[in-house]
């Protein structure tokens, strides 16, 4: 009923190839955008900003970057955490070396460094595939984290070996560091994430995206129909690492405020990979759903016993939380192995034909 | 529908109950009873919680008001730590971050949120400079104090360190690197050679490479800045490679009884500097036994209560409780605000007499803080593992204040400059 597509005629090729051939999709997205841009900032508390909204967006962006590489181009990567680190350290060096630089420009520029490193570690992908490539990216993971620890220039040789975000100003407003208001940071993150998402949607629908998908589905066939595999794989590595690097810069500058090297160690890579897998490889929407499930849900669950007045100790809540989230991940993967995005697609298809399924 | 109503009613009751219990001091602890460091965390957290439970049960709290010593579980993860900080900061009078990583994240926010950070014996050594770090406290000893006391002890025992070689085995993490600036300065001054040997977070349990290097370097002493699984790894490896245990000295976080119990008598002679000491028959421990453990309000065990870490937890809570008391006395009301607690923590004066009143004689050296000195630099004792338990192996050692405070002022200034605009307490001039 709500999702009925009857009566929506396409009279031109452009209309048929539009981003939203079904009107309800556009309306739904509009509602989500209004929620994210207007309703949430007006109603959310400091706690919600800092523990749910901002991290969910940043993790979703990192997963989006990984999804370009793994979901669309089929190149398995376990080095996401380290590439996020490259973005974060590049951004730190940029803002400390050039204090006059606009913070948003610095964040967007830092992705370029990550892209460069990503391409360098992507070169083995021309020869090796699948699990073997995963090992090569794992090497990037270990090497880069080691570098963040040993290369004192990266953290301006301060005694603790950690990077600390200075107070950064933009048009008279604090945007990073302890002085910044959460709502400012939220809007900044949301702006960058929205921009990157629009870019990714269009990239994956265009020539480049089709090249990636062909490479993913069967690289020999892709090569035979004239796709340059080297170009296809390396652009995937570059664009993916760029997005991941920007996510890393946001992660430290817009959210954490400080980071030591081991923050970017392998658990972060796995977390982002899980978000991408549970959300759905080869989808844009999935990254958001996955991030909500893995990053947002545990925080919300932690609040439940307190809100109900149940006398459970905090450590017990944590144990329960781990069990519940783990069970949910299993549940979702069993009912739909292709991830949450696919689950939503199925629901949507059922809604379109509801109440008269055929 | 009916279920919803029940839940809504339950939530309503909870809200009412929450507001009715407003007459209390909310002192959250960012505890870690889960995760990779849980084994070392639990005794500390139990000691801390039990002291406040004891005060609530025996005296009805502090100044007639109960202390809600709530725990928020972090699992030692910085992300969970930030979550806990955000969750508790609305009501909290204090933040106890319990990890160097969380401290580093919360520290810059302290000027904005105006909640004191209490990080006894950990965190950032320059936090001692109260003029720059107005809201942070690492009473009663900083890591630089610890390094200074260790060097003094080594000089007392084995003569001048000139020309000797000290291997510095440390966790490759902000925490482990903390004492390096001090040790480097001292190495240059005295003329001993310092060999820093980092242990990566992934190599904590398998340190054969590091101990091979120690065997090759043949240092006179090994000084260890370790935490969690690293300590047990180092101690077992030292026993295996037959390193003379009496030349092996750790920081206070490397004095967990369970780590040493793994090697038992083979570990005899191992030492650790500490600003706390378990006095098993101290009156405060008796009170905890009667009011908390026997009443079934504690999660601790008899074996754990005899350890160094449990009693350190008790001492840490005592520091907070004394801060609350000082603030209540100064401002004349029981329900103090975070900024009033800051005043209290800046004006601690825990003398020998006060320790006797608290029933804690010998558990911590007497200390006092001021607005310029947030640490107290009260010194500590060298503890030695005798094969079964830790015993005091030295008189009270005092850190070498001149060099430590010079370094503190310099590093604090550098921190303030890197984080400009950083408010500095101009009115405070005590201690130059």
Record: contact A308-B177, CB cut-off 8 A: no
Instruction: Tell me if chain A has a CB within 8 Å of the CB of B13.
Output: yes
CA distance B153 to A73: 61
For residue A201, what pLDDT is reported?
92
CA distance A105 to A127: 35
CA angle B315, B316, B319 (to 5 degrees): 90
Asked if residue A344 is part of any domain, the answer here is no
Asked if residue A234 is part of any domain, the answer here is yes
Region label for A198, one of left (φ > 0), alpha (ψ between -120 and 50) or beta (otherwise): alpha
Record: contact A313-B71, CB cut-off 8 A: yes
CA distance A34 to A275: 24
Q: How many domains does chain A have?
A: 1
CA distance B412 to A156: 15
For residue A69, what pLDDT is reported?
93
B302 in Cβ contact with B101 (< 8 Å): no
Closest by CA to A55, choosing from A340, A295, A319, A304, is A295
Asked if residue A166 is part of any domain, the answer here is yes
pLDDT band at B15; cut points 50, 70, 90: very low
The SS3 of residue B138 is coil
A129 or B384, greater pLDDT: B384
Residue labelled with tokens 């320790």: B355
Residue labelled with tokens 């339950």: B10
Closest by CA to B170, choosing from B146, B195, B141, B193, is B195
Report the greatest alpha carbon distance in chain A.
68
CA distance A32 to A28: 6
CA distance A126 to A270: 24
A48 in Cβ contact with A56 (< 8 Å): no
Asked if residue A130 is part of any domain, the answer here is yes
Record: contact B178-A159, CB cut-off 8 A: yes
Contacts of B172 in chain A (CB under 8 A): 149
Domains and CATH numbers, chain B: 24-141+279-378 (3.40.50.2300), 144-274+383-405 (3.40.50.2300)
CA distance A338 to B387: 57
For residue B203, what pLDDT is reported?
82
- Distances in Å between the Cα of A325 and the Cα atoms of A158, A295, B83 are 38, 10, 17
Asked if residue A102 is part of any domain, the answer here is yes
- Shortest Cα distance, chain A CAs vs residue B18, angstroms: 8
Residue B340 has pLDDT above 70, yes or no: yes
- Digit-coded pLDDT (tens) for B236-265: 999 999 999 999 999 999 988 888 988 888
Record: contact A167-B10, CB cut-off 8 A: no
Torsions phi, psi for A269 (to 5 deg):
-60, -45
pLDDT band at B17; cut points 50, 70, 90: very low
- Shortest Cα distance, chain B CAs vs residue A325, angstroms: 15
Burial class (CB in 10 A: 0-12, 13-18, 19+), B311: buried
pLDDT band at B432; cut points 50, 70, 90: very low
Please compute the mean of the pLDDT values over residues B268-280 and round it to a whole number: 92
User: How does DSSP classify residue B387?
Assistant: S
Residue B279 has pLDDT above 60, yes or no: yes
Record: contact A314-B11, CB cut-off 8 A: no
CA distance A25 to A5: 10
- Please, where are the H alpha helices in B107-198? 110-113, 143-158, 174-177, 180-186
Closest Cβ opposite residue B112 in set A161, A178, A319: A178
- Distances in Å between the Cα of A295 and the Cα atoms of A54, A279, A322, B79, B167 are 10, 12, 12, 10, 42
**A and B: number of Cβ contacts within 8 A:** 111
- Please, where are the H alpha helices in B174-207? 174-177, 180-186
Identify the sign of the CA torsion B282, B285, B290, B294.
negative
Which tokens sit at A256? 């954490």
For residue B248, what pLDDT is reported?
94
Instruction: Tell me if chain A has a CB within 8 Å of the CB of B174.
Output: yes
> What ipTM did this prediction achieve?
0.79
Record: contact A315-B111, CB cut-off 8 A: no
User: How does DSSP classify residue A167?
Assistant: P
Asked if residue A273 is part of any domain, the answer here is no
B11 or A33, greater pLDDT: A33
DSSP sequence for B56-105: HHHHSSBTTBEEE--B---TT-HHHHHHHHHHHTTT-S-B---SHHHHHH
Closest by CA to B31, choosing from B49, B18, B19, is B49
Q: What pTM value is reported for the model?
A: 0.85
Record: contact B421-A167, CB cut-off 8 A: yes
Which chain A residue lies closest to B411 (C-alpha atoms)? A159
- Shortest Cα distance, chain A CAs vs residue B367, angstroms: 27
Range of the domain at A131: 48-265
Closest Cβ opposite residue B174 in set A156, A162, A265: A162
Asked if residue A208 is part of any domain, the answer here is yes
Asked if residue A249 is part of any domain, the answer here is yes
For residue B22, what pLDDT is reported?
52
pLDDT tens digit at each of 358 positions of chain A: 678 888 888 888 888 888 888 888 889 999 999 999 999 999 988 888 888 899 999 999 999 999 999 999 999 899 999 999 999 999 999 999 998 899 999 999 999 999 999 999 999 888 888 888 888 899 999 999 999 988 889 888 777 778 888 888 888 888 888 788 889 999 999 999 999 999 999 999 999 999 999 999 998 999 999 999 999 999 999 999 999 999 999 999 999 888 888 889 998 999 999 999 999 998 999 999 999 998 888 888 888 887 888 788 888 888 888 899 889 888 988 888 888 999 999 998 888 888 877 7
For residue A1, what pLDDT is reported?
65
B116 in Cβ contact with B137 (< 8 Å): yes
B96 or B108, greater pLDDT: B96
CA angle B29, B33, B39 (to 5 degrees): 125
Instruction: Tell me if chain A has a CB within 8 Å of the CB of B20.
Output: no
Record: contact B100-A314, CB cut-off 8 A: no
Residue B421 has pLDDT above 50, yes or no: yes
pLDDT band at B429; cut points 50, 70, 90: low
- Shortest Cα distance, chain A CAs vs residue B193, angstroms: 20
Instruction: Tell me if chain A has a CB within 8 Å of the CB of B250.
Output: no
For residue B430, what pLDDT is reported?
52
Burial class (CB in 10 A: 0-12, 13-18, 19+), B42: buried
Closest by CA to B120, choosing from B92, B141, B99, is B141
């Amino acid at each position: 009923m709500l999702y009925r597509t009857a009566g929506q005629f396409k009279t031109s090729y452009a209309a048929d190839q539009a981003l939203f051939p079904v009107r309800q999709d556009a309306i739904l997205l509009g509602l989500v955008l209004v929620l994210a841009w207007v309703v949430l900032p007006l109603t959310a508390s400091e706690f919600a900003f800092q523990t749910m909204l901002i991290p969910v967006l940043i993790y979703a962006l990192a997963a989006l970057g990984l999804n370009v590489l793994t979901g669309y181009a089929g190149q398995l990567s376990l080095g996401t955490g380290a590439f996020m680190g490259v973005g974060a350290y590049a951004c730190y060096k940029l803002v400390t070396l050039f204090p006059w630089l606009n913070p948003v420009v610095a964040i967007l520029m830092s992705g370029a460094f990550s892209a460069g490193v990503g391409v360098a570690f992507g070169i083995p992908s021309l020869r090796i595939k699948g699990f073997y490539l995963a090992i090569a990216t794992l090497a990037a993971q270990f090497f880069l984290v080691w570098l963040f620890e040993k290369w004192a220039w990266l953290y301006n040789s301060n005694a603790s070996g950690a990077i600390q975000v200075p107070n950064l100003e933009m048009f008279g407003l604090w945007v990073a560091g302890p002085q910044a208001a959460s709502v400012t940071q939220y809007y900044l993150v949301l702006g960058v994430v929205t921009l990157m998402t629009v870019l990714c949607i269009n990239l994956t629908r265009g020539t480049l995206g089709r090249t990636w998908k062909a490479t993913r589905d069967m690289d020999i066939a892709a090569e035979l129909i004239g796709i340059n595999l080297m170009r296809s794989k390396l652009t995937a590595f570059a664009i993916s690492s760029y997005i991941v690097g920007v996510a890393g810069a946001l992660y430290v500058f817009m959210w954490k405020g400080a980071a030591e090297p081991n923050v970017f160690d392998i658990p972060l890579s796995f977390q982002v990979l899980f978000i991408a897998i549970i959300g759905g490889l080869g989808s844009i929407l999935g990254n958001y759903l996955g991030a909500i499930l893995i990053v947002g849900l545990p925080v919300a669950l932690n609040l439940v016993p307190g809100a109900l007045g149940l006398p459970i100790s905090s450590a017990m809540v944590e144990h329960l939380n781990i069990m519940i989230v783990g069970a949910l991940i299993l549940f979702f993967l069993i009912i739909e192995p292709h991830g949450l995005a696919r689950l939503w697609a199925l629901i949507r298809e059922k809604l379109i034909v509801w109440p008269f399924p055929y | 529908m009916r279920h919803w109503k029940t839940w809504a009613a339950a939530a309503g009751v909870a809200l009412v109950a929450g507001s009715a219990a407003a007459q209390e001091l909310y002192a959250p602890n960012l505890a870690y009873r889960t995760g990779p460091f849980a084994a070392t965390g639990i005794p500390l957290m139990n000691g801390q919680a039990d002291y406040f439970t004891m005060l609530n049960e025996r005296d009805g709290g502090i100044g007639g008001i109960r202390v809600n010593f709530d725990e928020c579980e972090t699992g030692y993860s910085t992300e969970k730590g930030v979550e806990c900080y955000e969750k508790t900061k609305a009501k909290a009078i204090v933040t106890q971050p319990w990890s160097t990583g969380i401290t580093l994240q919360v520290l810059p926010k302290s000027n904005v949120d105006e909640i004191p950070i209490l990080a006894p014996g950990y965190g950032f050594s320059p936090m001692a400079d109260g003029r720059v770090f107005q809201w942070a406290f690492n009473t009663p000893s900083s890591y630089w104090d610890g390094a200074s006391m260790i060097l003094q002890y080594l000089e007392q025992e084995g003569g001048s360190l000139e020309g000797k070689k000290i291997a510095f085995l440390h966790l490759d993490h902000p925490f482990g690197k903390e004492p390096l600036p001090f040790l480097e300065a001292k190495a240059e001054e005295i003329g001993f050679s310092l060999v820093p040997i980092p242990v990566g977070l992934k190599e904590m349990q398998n340190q054969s490479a590091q101990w091979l290097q120690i065997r090759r370097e043949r240092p006179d002493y090994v000084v260890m800045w370790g935490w969690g699984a690293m300590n047990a790894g180092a101690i077992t490896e030292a026993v295996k490679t037959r390193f003379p245990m009496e030349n092996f000295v750790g920081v206070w976080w490397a004095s967990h009884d369970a780590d040493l119990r793994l090697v038992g008598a083979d570990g005899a002679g191992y030492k650790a500097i500490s600003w706390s000491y378990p006095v098993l028959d101290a009156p405060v421990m008796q009170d905890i036994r009667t009011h908390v453990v026997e009443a079934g309000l504690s999660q601790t065990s008899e074996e754990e209560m005899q350890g160094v870490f449990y009693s350190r937890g008790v001492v840490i809570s005592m520091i907070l409780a004394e801060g609350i008391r000082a603030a209540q006395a100064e401002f004349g009301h029981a329900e103090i605000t975070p900024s009033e607690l800051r005043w209290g923590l800046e004006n601690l004066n825990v003398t020998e007499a006060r320790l006797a009143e608290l029933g804690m004689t010998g558990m911590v050296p007497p200390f006092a803080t001021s607005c310029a000195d947030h640490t107290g630099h009260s010194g500590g004792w060298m503890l030695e593992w005798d094969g079964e338990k830790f015993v005091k192996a030295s008189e009270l050692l005092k850190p070498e204040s001149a060099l430590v405070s010079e370094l503190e002022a310099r590093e604090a200034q550098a921190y303030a400059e890197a984080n400009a605009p950083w408010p500095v307490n101009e009115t405070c001039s005590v201690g130059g």
